[in-house]
Amino acid sequence: MQQKWQQATQVIHAGHQKDATGALVSPLYQSATFTFDNVEQGSACFAGEQQGYIYTRLGNPTTAELERKLAILEGSAAAAATASGMAAVSAALLTHLCYGDHLVAAKAVYGCTFALMTTQLNKFGIETTLVDFNDIDAIKRAIKPNTKVLFCETPVNPHLDVYDLTAIAHIAKLHHLVSIVDNTFMTPLLQQPISLGIDMVVHSATKYLNGHGDVIAGMVCGSEEVITKLKTEILKDIGAVLSPHDAWLILRGLKTLDVRLARHCDNAQVIAEYLDKHPQISRVYYPGLSHHSGHHLIGSQMRRAGGVVAFELDSHFDGAVAFVNRLKLFTIAVSLGDAESLIQHPASMTHSPYSCEERLAAGISDSLLRISVGLEAVEDILDDLRQALEGG
Ligand SMILES: *Cc1c(COP(=O)(O)O)cnc(C)c1O
């Protein structure tokens, strides 16, 4: 039944189990540990002979409801909630990679994912090759006998490049690799990688899934076998599990995901088109624009283009900084997927540790700006952009 519902219904009802009190909203089980009636029951729970909660690092009823809901939404057999998006990325990778293994990932990935792969995993003898995932042959060429995993996110910063997930899943199957996709920018409502043949999905639930800017969280979706291994071998010992309170907040946030995303996408389309026509803007990157390289995958791989828009001002570093400082409605902040429209200037913020050459090589020019389009009235967002552009 729950699998057959439309996703707009699933975000509200899927995974919910009526409790003894009949509470409309599932109670928050804010408890670190769970009690046993006698030693025999405790022993049976530890042995897995009897179902039951033991200790929240191993499982919790509130977190379990979130996991059931997300698995249904992504179309996976199971899901695990984690303490952050980075905990989801690292748990997914550590479930599949050991000393001596090799990983092929997209050159453009979330900054901390890049650092995890090139710095942390490297310390433990796991090697990463980064390639342009727009180039399918480059992915094939990077595969070695010890390659175990293909990893990417799509659409991806800084230019919202869209990678062909069907082609990537195909290569993974051909070479017996595990394919993992970070679906944070899309959520399962706009893109379901598993339906395209991808093995695992990871999320920063901090972004659209929670949607209210008040939680750091992650999710991993995959097969029953892999998620069980991830929970019982990796998360149990590394310990980056989600707090039940945060799981409860995400369950609340998820109920409005469908209506929120519709507004995020509607607003982002209007804003991208406005910026695209503006003489002071040299380039707009948004898959919803017909000139974007990923536009042809809208309607097939991804339902809509999402809520993140990047653009370059026809200006220098200082001009971009002054423009951002003139904005009044926009909030200057990293992150995305919140009700508030957010803007960040990568050259002076997220990518300031890079040298100028490294930044330009990564496609981040001095005047590149990224906005996470919020849920405000689109006229007010446009007015703010207009006044900041005219004020220059
Ligand atoms: C934010 C983000 C992450 C990291 O998530 P946290 O919840 O901040 O740990 C990973 N991937 C993408 C695409 C993100 O936007």
Q: Which of 297, 234, 193 is nearest to 80 (CA)?
A: 234
Residue 210 shares a structural domain with residue 319: no
Tokens of 353: 């540790």
- What is the CA angle 34-35-40, rounded to 5? 125
Considering the candidates 29, 110, 163, 208, report the single residue annotated as catalytic: 110
Please list, in sequence order, all residues whose beta carbon lies within 8 angstroms of the beta carbon of residue 16, skipping any fewer than 6 positions away.
26, 65, 69
Domain-terminating residue out of 207, 233, 254:
254
Burial class (CB in 10 A: 0-12, 13-18, 19+), 49: exposed
Residue 279 shares a structural domain with residue 149: no
Task: Please indicate whether residue 286 is annotated as part of the active site.
Answer: no
337 CB within 6 A, ligand 1: no
Question: What DSSP element (H or E) covers 371?
Answer: strand 368-372
- Which protein residue's CA is at the shortest distance from atom 9 of ligand 1? 85
Residue 208 shares a structural domain with residue 350: no
Identify which of 84, 86, 208, 370 to mutate to test ligand 1's pocket (most ligand atoms within 8 A of the CB): 86
What are the C-alpha distances in Å from 10 to residues 198, 202, 206?
22, 19, 20
For the chain (392 residues), the mean pLDDT of every run of 10, in chain order, is: 89 94 95 97 93 95 98 98 98 98 96 94 97 97 98 96 98 98 98 98 98 98 98 96 98 98 98 98 98 97 98 96 98 97 94 86 93 98 97 79
Please list, in sequence order, all residues whose beta carbon lies within 8 angstroms of the beta carbon of residue 35, skipping any fewer than 6 positions away.
none
Residue 386 shares a structural domain with residue 359: yes
Residue found under tokens 């342009």:
132
Domain count for the chain, please give it: 2
User: Cα(287)–Cα(296) distance, rounded to whole angstroms?
Assistant: 9
324 CB within 6 A, ligand 1: no
Q: 298: domain CATH number?
A: 3.90.1150.10
Kindly state the DSSP code that residue 302 receives in the 8-state scheme. B
Residue 282 shares a structural domain with residue 365: yes
pTM of the model: 0.97
User: Cα(3)–Cα(250) distance, rounded to whole angstroms?
Assistant: 20
| Longest distance between any two alpha carbons in the chain, whole Å | 75
Residue 220 shares a structural domain with residue 269: no
Q: 149: domain CATH number?
A: 3.40.640.10
Q: How far is CA 357 from the centre of its chain?
A: 28
Please list, in sequence order, all residues whose beta carbon lies within 8 angstroms of the beta carbon of residue 168, skipping any fewer than 6 positions away.
133, 136, 139, 150, 152, 179, 181, 198
Question: What DSSP element (H or E) covers 381?
Answer: helix 378-390
pLDDT of residue 361: 87
pLDDT of residue 328: 98
Residue 101 shares a structural domain with residue 9: yes
pLDDT of residue 358: 85
Residue 298 shares a structural domain with residue 239: no
Residue 187 shares a structural domain with residue 318: no
* Domain encompassing residue 215: 2-254
User: Cα(59)–Cα(48) distance, rounded to whole angstroms?
Assistant: 13
- Which protein residue's CA is at the shortest distance from atom 1 of ligand 1? 204
81 CB within 6 A, ligand 1: no
**Amino acid at site 30:** Q
pLDDT of residue 249: 98
Question: What DSSP element (H or E) covers 78?
Answer: strand 78-82
